[in-house]
Structure 1
Amino acid sequence: MADITVTRNDEASRYEIHYDGVLAGFAEYKLRPGEILFVHTEVDPAFQGKGLATRLAHDALTDAVAHDETIVPYCPFIAQYLETHEIPGAQIRWPNR
């Protein structure tokens, strides 16, 4: 079974997902006071089909809740994930709604 980890890299302004120690994808964000704006999510084509984008979205959003940040989903993938999955305790500010 593969070792999959998701970490928050504030220096690079992104959550990173590693698959067996190799960077497989990331979710970029911008921080504002009390908010985290998710702007782009990407998984390397070599790692697609393993459910990594879903895992990355879940772990990143759960961590944002733990940091008491309001989630602002500009990234279409993150927005779609939030529309179809429950993230307990999440406060969401939908852009352009």
Structure 2
Amino acid sequence: MSTEIRNNTALERFEIYVDGVIAGYAEYQDTMSERAFVRTQISPPYEGQGYARMLVESALNRTRADKLGALPMCRTVNHFIETRPEYLAMVPHWARDRMNLPQ
């Protein structure tokens, strides 16, 4: 299976495609200095196959490349950052306590 992740700026979301079919997305809202991830959704036929991890990792890497911080408001992105400390630096200190992340 081939996967592709696209940043659909018109809809403000990163989308993951599996064999050309959209399998899920991570919605965001940009501010001047952060990208707030508000919802991540994987379609039922694609759940449990690692696509959410691929999507979130790619979205965060793109966010870092865009020189933006990350606000993991959605549970999926929050959990991803919580379990991968290398992404914690992307979350501003003021937001970590509010999002139950380590300082």
Structure 1 runs of 4+ off > 3 angstroms?
A: 86-90
**Which ranges in structure 2 are unaligned for 5 or more consecutive residues?**
none
Root-mean-square deviation (Å):
1.7
Distance 2:59 2:86 in 1: 11
Instruction: Name the residue aligned to 1:50.
Output: 49
Asked if the contact 2:82–2:88 (Cα under 8 Å) also holds between the matched residues in 1, the reply is no
Indicate the SS of the match to 1:11: coil
Aligned length: 96
| CA deviation after TM superposition for structure 1 residue 90, in Å | 4.7
Q: Which residue of 2 aligns with 1:67?
A: 66
Aligned residue for 1:77, secondary structure, equals helix
The Cα offsets for residues 3-29 of structure 1, whole Å up to 9 and x where unpaired, read as: 101111110000000000000000000
Corresponding residue of 1:5: 4
Query: 1: CA distance between counterparts of 2:28 and 2:34?
Result: 10
Give 1 or 2: higher helix fraction: 2
